């Protein structure tokens, strides 16, 4: 985990790949227009969502481009998303087979199951999405004692003893004074940011921040400025400008400046440059909000996230946020930090005041996972899982680089994006991998820039070396078959033997 050995790369694709990618989108767009014409003249059946004739004078319900993109691009490849799963989302899972009789406009389940698909798409970083009855005993006992739903908010009848136990445990785990938990990770961001900043405040937000952070920022009414992803020059320039010029019209000083970043970025696999950001926030007297949805549990020698990975003091982060949906195999989120901050949010955050409290079995699942990570269950299972995940991530990333794929992100990150670029290849890749019983997540425009469509792998401590080797074997074959190995770099087969100076810290 040493800082010197950390490599983070964002290799650019060769020029011909960008040209072919634009050409690919160009061709499907052209076909789209031709088919729209055929639909308009009645030569092709039309399933389009469109206003009825008597609605035509109203403001249009459907945006032109979105409508066009959905009909002509997304519909052709829709079979690769939203597949129904009929088992635990563990390292291996079962899918329900489905077919479409109308070119993906609707799907029909065949009643058959596709068994034993290796799952490299779920965020089950530490393997806590599991159904071993021994491990889940306390969760079952809690369900028998408290039931499943709380039927009230924390401030009314919904404040259970296990909620308080969980909050103490979270604060203890993170090394801060206090914490509050919420039933939903998304709402933890979108409802707490507006409680912290408002009009007259400035938010500096990383350009790749999650939608829940963007929504929270917009709801707050604060001014939002977006800095380049993980780019300290861009952030410092904005901070300097904000301090020198103050608010846009009045030039009064900003009431607060809040920097919002994530620990690990879920589409890039990159790790936040935390020590530099802390130095900047101290220099310019700003506050820092850190979303650890993908990093808590997943990085750091004892799973305490990016503060531990970089060996920085967690109290230097003003607002620590995280979710329980990934490493903990549960649901919900937390805000942690100074007691004053948490007490303030308890009475001012909409999700604290108006939302029902976290479900008891979910609460107990998080408690048991935390106890396991902290060794409070009397075992070393938590540490074993953390080490296994780190080993799996490094092994998988090293083999992919050796094969010649372009992958993004940090060596420490269990999120591994493989760049596929061309729309046709994205679809062929997902279908080919499923035929080989490997469940992958593929992502393209508008979730990524148009030229950077990718497959996003999420590794787990529950993946055995044998499973990873199977995935790598198929990736190698599919990579050759679909010509996906675009990297022009040479990698040593054993990265640990590389000279330290070979590693780029900032590319």
Give the shortest CB-258-to-ligand PLP separation in angstroms: 16
Q: Which is nearer to ligand PLP, 79 or 364 (CB)?
A: 364
Binding ligand PLP (rule: CB under 6 A), the pick from 21, 72, 325, 393 is: 325
Report how far Cα 381 is from the mean position of its chain's Cα atoms: 25
Give the shortest CB-141-to-ligand PLP separation in angstroms: 25
Question: What is the DSSP pairing of strand 257-262 with strand 223-227?
Answer: unpaired
Q: Which is nearer to ligand PLP, 330 or 467 (CB)?
A: 330
Please say whether the beta carbons of 180 and 335 come within 8 A: yes
Instruction: Give the x/- contact pattern for ligand PLP in 51-90, rule: CB under 6 A.
Output: ----------------------------------------
Q: Which is nearer to ligand PLP, 189 or 359 (CB)?
A: 189
Give the shortest CB-379-to-ligand PLP separation in angstroms: 27
HSE-up (13 A, CA, CB side) for residue 150: 24
Calpha distance 379→190 (Å, rounded):
37
Give the shortest CB-483-to-ligand PLP separation in angstroms: 31
At 107, phi and psi to the nearest 5? -125, 150
Q: Which is nearer to ligand PLP, 298 or 478 (CB)?
A: 298
Binding ligand PLP (rule: CB under 6 A), the pick from 122, 212, 307, 365 is: 212
Binding flag, residue 414, ligand PLP (CB under 6 A): no
Could you say which residues in the range 366-385 bind ligand PLP, by CB under 6 A? Answer: none
Q: Which is nearer to ligand PLP, 242 or 370 (CB)?
A: 370
In the complex, which residue's CB is closest to ligand PLP? 185
Q: Which is nearer to ligand PLP, 291 or 308 (CB)?
A: 291
Q: Which is nearer to ligand PLP, 79 or 262 (CB)?
A: 262
CA distances from 28 to 36, 322, 393 (A): 12, 40, 36
Please say whether the beta carbons of 461 and 467 come within 8 A: no
Binding flag, residue 323, ligand PLP (CB under 6 A): yes
Instruction: Give the x/- contact pattern for ligand PLP in 175-204, rule: CB under 6 A.
Output: ---------xxx--x---------------
Contacts of 256 (CB under 8 A, 6+ apart): 196, 197, 201, 202, 286, 287
Binding flag, residue 210, ligand PLP (CB under 6 A): yes
Give the shortest CB-17-to-ligand PLP separation in angstroms: 28
Q: Is the peptide bond before 105 cis (omega within 30 degrees of 0)?
A: no
Q: Which is nearer to ligand PLP, 303 or 333 (CB)?
A: 333
Give the shortest CB-325-to-ligand PLP separation in angstroms: 3
Own/partner pairs for 449-454, CB < 8 Å, 24+ apart?
450/21, 450/22, 450/25, 451/13, 451/18, 451/21, 451/22, 451/421, 452/419, 452/421, 453/21, 453/419, 453/420, 453/421, 453/422, 453/423, 453/426, 454/267, 454/408, 454/417, 454/418, 454/419, 454/420, 454/426
Give the shortest CB-295-to-ligand PLP separation in angstroms: 9
Give the shortest CB-493-to-ligand PLP separation in angstroms: 33
Kindly state the number of chain residues that form the binding site for ligand PLP, as judged by CB under 6 A: 14
Instruction: Specify the length of the chain in residues.
Output: 507
Give the shortest CB-259-to-ligand PLP separation in angstroms: 15
Q: Which is nearer to ligand PLP, 197 or 403 (CB)?
A: 197
Q: Give residue for tokens 């999700």.
A: 351
Could you say which residues in the range 261-300 bind ligand PLP, by CB under 6 A? Answer: 262, 266, 291, 293-294
Give the shortest CB-407-to-ligand PLP separation in angstroms: 19
436: exposed, middle or buried (Cβ count in 10 Å: 0-12, 13-18, 19+): middle
Could you say which residues in the range 441-500 bind ligand PLP, by CB under 6 A? Answer: none
Calpha distance 132→90 (Å, rounded):
11
Give the shortest CB-74-to-ligand PLP separation in angstroms: 21
In the three-class reduction of DSSP (H, G, I as helix; E, B as strand; rest coil), residue 274 is classed as helix
- Across the beta sheet with 287-291, what order do the strands follow? 178-182, 333-337, 319-323, 287-291, 257-262, 202-206, 223-227
Q: Which is nearer to ligand PLP, 197 or 293 (CB)?
A: 293
At 496, phi and psi to the nearest 5? -65, -20
Calpha distance 206→229 (Å, rounded):
5
Q: Which is nearer to ligand PLP, 18 or 441 (CB)?
A: 441
Give the shortest CB-363-to-ligand PLP separation in angstroms: 15
Contacts of 469 (CB under 8 A, 6+ apart): none
Q: Which is nearer to ligand PLP, 37 or 81 (CB)?
A: 81
Give the interface with ligand PLP as residue ranges (CB under 6 A): 184-186, 189, 210, 212, 262, 266, 291, 293-294, 323, 325, 333
């Amino acid at each position: 985990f040493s800082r010197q050995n950390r490599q983070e790369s964002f290799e650019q694709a060769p020029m011909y790949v960008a040209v072919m990618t634009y050409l690919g989108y160009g061709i499907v767009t052209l076909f789209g227009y031709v088919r729209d014409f055929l639909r308009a003249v009645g030569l092709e059946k039309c399933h389009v969502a469109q206003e009825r004739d008597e609605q035509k004078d109203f403001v249009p319900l459907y945006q032109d481009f979105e409508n066009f993109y959905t009909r002509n691009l997304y519909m052709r490849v829709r079979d690769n998303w939203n597949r129904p799963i009929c088992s635990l989302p563990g390292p291996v899972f079962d899918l329900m087979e489905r077919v479409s009789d109308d070119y993906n406009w609707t799907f029909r389940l065949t009643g058959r199951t596709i068994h034993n698909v290796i799952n490299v798409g779920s965020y089950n970083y530490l393997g806590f999405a599991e159904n071993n009855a021994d491990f889940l005993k306390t969760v079952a006992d809690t369900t028998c004692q408290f039931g499943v739903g709380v039927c009230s908010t924390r401030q009314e009848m919904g404040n259970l003893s296990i909620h308080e136990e969980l909050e103490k445990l979270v604060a203890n785990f993170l090394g801060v004074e206090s914490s509050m938990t919420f039933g939903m990770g998304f709402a933890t961001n979108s409802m707490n940011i507006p409680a912290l900043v408002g009009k007259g405040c400035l938010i500096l937000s990383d350009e790749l921040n999650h939608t829940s952070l963007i929504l929270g920022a917009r709801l707050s009414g604060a001014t939002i400025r977006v800095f380049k992803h993980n780019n300290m020059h861009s952030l410092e320039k904005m901070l300097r400008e904000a301090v020198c010029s103050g608010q846009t019209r009045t030039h009064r000083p900003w009431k607060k400046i809040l920097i919002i970043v994530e620990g690990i970025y879920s589409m890039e696999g990159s790790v936040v440059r935390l020590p530099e950001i802390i130095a900047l926030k101290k220099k310019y007297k700003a506050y820092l909000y850190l979303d650890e949805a993908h990093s808590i549990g997943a990085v750091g020698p004892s799973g305490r996230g990016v503060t531990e990975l970089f060996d920085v003091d967690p109290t230097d982060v003003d607002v620590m946020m995280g979710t329980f949906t990934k490493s903990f195999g549960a649901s919900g989120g937390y805000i942690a930090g100074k007691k004053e901050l948490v007490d303030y949010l308890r009475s001012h955050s909409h999700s604290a005041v108006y939302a029902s409290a976290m479900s008891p079995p979910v609460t107990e699942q998080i408690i048991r996972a935390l106890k396991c990570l902290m060794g409070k269950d009397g075992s070393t299972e938590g540490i074993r899982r953390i080490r296994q995940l780190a080993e799996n991530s490094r092994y998988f990333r090293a083999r992919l680089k050796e094969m010649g794929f372009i992958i993004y992100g940090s060596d420490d990150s269990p999120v591994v994006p493989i760049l596929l670029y061309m729309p046709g290849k994205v679809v062929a890749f997902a279908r080919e991998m499923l035929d080989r019983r490997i469940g992958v997540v593929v992502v393209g425009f508008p979730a990524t820039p148009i030229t950077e469509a990718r497959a996003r792998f999420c590794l787990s401590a529950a993946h055995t070396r044998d499973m990873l080797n199977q995935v790598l074997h198929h990736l190698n074959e599919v990579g050759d078959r679909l010509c996906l190995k675009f990297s022009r770099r040479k990698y040593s087969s054993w990265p640990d033997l590389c000279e330290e100076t070979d590693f780029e810290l900032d590319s």
